[in-house]
Amino acid sequence: MEVLYDKIFFMKYADIIIDISHERLDKTFEYIVPDELENSVVEGVQVVIPFGQGNRAITGYVVGLHDKPEFDVTKLKPIARVVKDSIAIESQLISLAAFLKRNYGSTMNQALKTVIPIKRKENEKLKKEISLNIPIEQAKIELNELLTKKNHAVGKERLLRELLEVDVIDWELATKRLQVHSANIRDLEKKGIVRVDSVRTYRNPHMTEAAERKNIVLNEEQEFAAEKIKADIDTGRRKTYLIHGVTGSGKTEVYMGVMEHVIASGQQVIVLIPEIALTYQTVMRFYTRFGDKVSILNSRMSPGERFDQFERAKSGEISIMVGPRSALFTPFPNLGLIIIDEEHEPSYKSEVIPRYHARETAVYRAKLAGATVVLGSATPSIEAYSRAQSGEYDLITLHNRAQGQDMATCEIVDLRAELQSGNRSMISRRLKELMADRLEKKQQIMLFLNRRGLMGFVSCRACGHVLKCPHCDVSLHLHKNGVMKCHYCGYTTQATKTCPSCGSKYIGSFKAGTQRLEEIVKEAFPQARVLRMDADTTKGKDGHEEILSAFAAQEADVLIGTQMIVKGHDFANVTLVGIIAADISLNESDYHSGERTFQLLTQAVGRAGRGKEAGVAVIQTYQPENYAVVSAAAQDYDSFYSQEYAYRNLLSYPPCSHILGIQVSSENQRDAIAQADILADLIRKTDSKVVIMGPEDAYIGKLKDVYRRIIYVKDDDYNRLVNIKDAIDRFLLEQKQYRSTSTWFDFDPINTL
């Protein structure tokens, strides 16, 4: 009796999923893990199980393990065996899901849904687009021929006229607004005059465009970088590389050189780029080089469209997937290379559970697939650079711009001194002088404003003091009715007339809006043609593209914008970049603010002087001595890195340590507080060595009537934090109290929680 009881007690049970492409991923079957398989059955492995009445042997994946059976033990069957060396793409993705669950915290189900796209619902319609299938000149002839016919279909005429004006027309738009009969469209399609595509966001370009490929020969530095990586690949070394290349050094050309090599050997490539950089310009570079082998993912796609893209990848129809974070889960059967461009971008960290980081996840996926990882940035994240310093990544540096152009020279303007001398404009005298000069020379200017400054925080122009919310440690914002408000907690107070810090009366809202800036530029330079790019002017689907291509075609002299304009665009005629208020992001409260400021400034400075003429950047700031500003102006990454690293080290922030953020939320404030206290106790009991901060209210303590408490746990050892997460998960599973609360985890959070 005794023995049998023990046996059942120590037995392990596995949840097994059989068809992972099935829409309802939560359907699992429970099996017994036999003693002899105890060590080899782990989450993510492929196993053979007897299934159904006839005990047919089928394969499944282990997605969960536990000590207590959920079903009647006497009815459970044991796992037959573990599938040896299963390298099927599915098993890789399942392991990847297990990795996400373990390292970032989530249920296996949530993790699976992150890596496996949901099948298209039967009734989901594909969006269709119509475009010309013949050159424009020929289309004009077709239209004229049509017009000479008596009783010609006016629908066809309307469609052709429209297509002479725009590249593509929505099927919906054509049939509804232009009232073109679908039979007419199909007829034109049959005659080869138009083509109808089921939209996958970016259509493959027409051949004429593909022919325009620039013939680029890699320069010495680029060649060295590409050859090094290729040589490692050929000799079977699989590594992670960090390419630190100054802005305009031609990193993309290096990526493409390596990509070509990998594809030639029959393997596939994933290229991650930040959503914001997913512009026509970038995408066209990949298309012109690799043609139909490329597919693009973006976040506007429906789950069904993503599913289709993934099917194409699985079937071998394409060999390159370009997209944001989630493209990492493209089910390529023989993945050889993962590239992460602008590796430092915060958008590579997911903000939904599991809150994974694409960089670490890519390295893990590459390990499973035997693939190489290439990270690139002009301003590497402190995390990645420290790994390169320690030898975990291979560092490759591109010191020079691709065609040997000089880096822009940089000038810092102290806005406090500017004010003392009586200039209260957003544009300093020096910047104005340079603008006049560039307009005279018919060169172009970009003026950059940090988006976060849009709302106008309240600060003192004499001493730089920023008014903050007493509850949230965020800056207050001035509202029309003369009150200052906290955008996070709603705290409201009367606007002050004098600075609480120095008594000066020059306190007010820094109305750093792009619109305001546009007015000022137009007043100062009435003859200048000004384009503005911000959330207002880019509402339409192609709003970005229109503005950027107009500026590229030199239809404007000045481009004003938020950080959207600093990412990855190449304007050869820009010789002046003005950064209107460099310190806005320094006023943020989290430990990344120095890094973000440095990155933004460096990227902005890097926009200047990409062509033949040398560039100048003017950084206007209230904190000219701040290390992030100083090293960005000097374009000295190493100096910034060493100061930032020292600061992180001193305060034990990542990458010098790891942080686990635990959020407990509830509509009932007392429950949230009590539950967070219970979890903090549990952490203390689980591991007495880790540092615990809190519980305290989250950065946004209450959001939509839900109270949020945060606990931060710090330790050098990531695994200890994982153990704490697991202990909490186990506890929550058993806990009967405080059902109103929910808990989630964030490892090494990117933003203050």
If the CB atoms of residues 251 and 344 are measured against ligand ADP, the closer one turns out to be 251
We find the least distance from the C-beta atom of residue 247 to ligand ADP, in angstroms, to be 5
Sequence-distant (≥ 6) Cβ neighbours of residue 199 within 8 angstroms:
126, 127, 128, 129, 305
Q: Which does 465 bind (CB under 5 to 8 A by kind): Zn ion, ligand ADP, none?
A: Zn ion
Rounded distance, CA 378 to CA 641, Å? 12
624 binds, among ligand ADP, Zn ion, none (CB under 5 to 8 A by kind): none
C-alpha Rg value of the chain to the nearest Å: 29
CB of 606 to ligand ADP, least distance (A): 7
CB of residue 378 vs ligand ADP: minimum separation in angstroms? 7
Residue 636 tokens read as 């000295």
DSSP-assigned states of every residue in 612-631: SS--EEEEEES-TT-HHHHH
Q: What is the 3-state secondary structure (H, E, C) of 523-588?
A: HHCCCCCEEEECCCCCCCCCHHHHHHHHHHCCCCCEEEECHHHHCCCCCCCEEEEEECCCCHHHHC
Cα 703 from chain centroid? 24
561 binds, among Zn ion, ligand ADP, none (CB under 5 to 8 A by kind): none
The interface partner of residue 472, options being Zn ion, ligand ADP, none and the CB cut-off 5 to 8 Å by kind, is Zn ion
Cβ proximity to Zn ion: between 489 and 711 the closer is: 489
Q: Which does 250 bind (CB under 5 to 8 A by kind): Zn ion, ligand ADP, none?
A: ligand ADP
502 interface partner picked from Zn ion, ligand ADP, none, CB below 5 to 8 A per type: Zn ion
Indicate the residue among 247 and 459 with the shorter CB distance to Zn ion.
459
Residue 570 binding result from ligand ADP, Zn ion, none, given CB thresholds of 5 to 8 Å by partner type: ligand ADP
Nearer to Zn ion, 306 or 477 (CB): 477
463 contact choice in Zn ion, ligand ADP, none (CB below 5 to 8 Å, kind-dependent): Zn ion
Residue closer to ligand ADP (CB basis): 272 or 472: 272
Name the minimum Å distance from CB 696 to Zn ion: 14
Q: Which is nearer to ligand ADP, 553 or 650 (CB)?
A: 553
Q: Shortest Cβ distance from residue 632 to ligand ADP (Å)?
A: 16
In whole angstroms, how close is the CB of 68 to ligand ADP at the nearest point? 54
CB neighbour burial string for 662-677, b if at least 16 within 10 angstroms, e if fewer: bbbbbeebebbbbbbe
Smallest distance from the beta carbon of 339 to ligand ADP, in angstroms?
11
153 binds, among ligand ADP, Zn ion, none (CB under 5 to 8 A by kind): none
Residue 283 or 472 with smaller CB distance to Zn ion: 472
Question: Which of Zn ion, ligand ADP, none does residue 323 bind (CB under 5 to 8 Å by kind)?
Answer: none
- C-alpha torsion sign, points 491, 497, 500, 506: positive
Using alpha carbons, list the distances in angstroms from residue 52 to 29, 49, 74, 82.
11, 10, 15, 19
Which of residues 192 and 404 has its CB atom nearest to ligand ADP in the complex?
404
Residue 294 neighbours by CB under 8 Å, 6+ apart: 286, 287, 318, 320, 321, 322
Q: In the bound complex, what is the minimum distance in angstroms from residue 611's beta carbon to ligand ADP?
A: 10
State how far the Cα of 646 lies from the Cα of 656, in Å rounded to an integer.
9
Q: Decide: 353 and 110 in contact? Cβ < 8 Å.
A: yes
What does 252 interact with, of Zn ion, ligand ADP, none (CB < 5 to 8 A by kind)? ligand ADP
* Amino acid (1-letter code) at residue 365: R
- Cβ of residue 327: shortest distance to ligand ADP, in angstroms? 18
Closest CA to 352 of 91, 663, 700: 663
Residue with Cβ nearer ligand ADP (16 or 277)? 277
Matching residue, tokens 């990882």: 373
Q: Which of 412, 465, 423 is nearest to 601 (CA)?
A: 412
Q: Strand, helix or coil at 485?
A: strand
Name the minimum Å distance from CB 484 to Zn ion.
11
3-state secondary structure (DSSP) of residue 694: strand
The DSSP line for 40-55 is: T--TT-EEEEEETTTT
Choose among 117, 123, 130, 122: nearest CA to 170: 130
- List contacts with ligand ADP (CB under 6 A): 216-219, 222, 245, 247-253, 402-403, 570
We find the least distance from the C-beta atom of residue 75 to ligand ADP, in angstroms, to be 60
SS3 508: strand
Comparison of 340 and 462: residue with beta carbon closer to Zn ion: 462
Complex with Zn ion: residue 474 or 632, whichever CB lies closer: 474
Kindly tell me which of 416 and 522 has the beta carbon lying closer to Zn ion.
Answer: 416
Q: Which residues, in sequence order, are CB contacts of 582 under 8 Å at separation 6+?
A: 450, 597, 601, 619, 620, 621, 623, 629, 632
Closer residue to Zn ion in complex, CB, 460/605: 460
Q: Which residues bind Zn ion (CB under 5 A)?
A: 460, 462-463, 465, 469, 471-472, 486, 488-489, 491, 499, 501-502, 504
Q: At what angle do helices 429-440 and 514-524 cross, to 10 degrees?
A: 60
From ligand ADP, Zn ion, none, interface partner of 486 (C-beta below 5 to 8 A by class): Zn ion
Parallel, antiparallel or unpaired: strands 742-747 and 658-666: antiparallel
Residue 248 interacts with, from ligand ADP, Zn ion, none (CB under 5-8 Å by kind): ligand ADP
Closer of 95 and 252 to ligand ADP (Cβ):
252
Our CB check for ligand ADP shows the closer of 116 and 271 to be 271
The residue sitting closest to ligand ADP, measured at its beta carbon, is 250
Supply the minimum distance, in Å, between the C-beta of residue 520 and Zn ion. 24
CB of 256 vs ligand ADP, minimal distance in Å: 8
Q: Which does 501 bind (CB under 5 to 8 A by kind): ligand ADP, Zn ion, none?
A: Zn ion
- With CB under 5 to 8 Å by kind, the binding choice for 732 among Zn ion, ligand ADP, none is none
The CA-atom distances, in angstroms, between 72 and each of 76, 384, 422 are 7, 49, 83
| C-alpha dihedral (222, 228, 234, 237), degrees to nearest 10 | -130
CB of 435 to ligand ADP, least distance (A): 25
Beta-bridged to residue 560, according to DSSP, are: 447, 532
Give the shortest CB-386-to-ligand ADP separation in angstroms: 22
Overall residue count recorded for the chain in this entry: 753
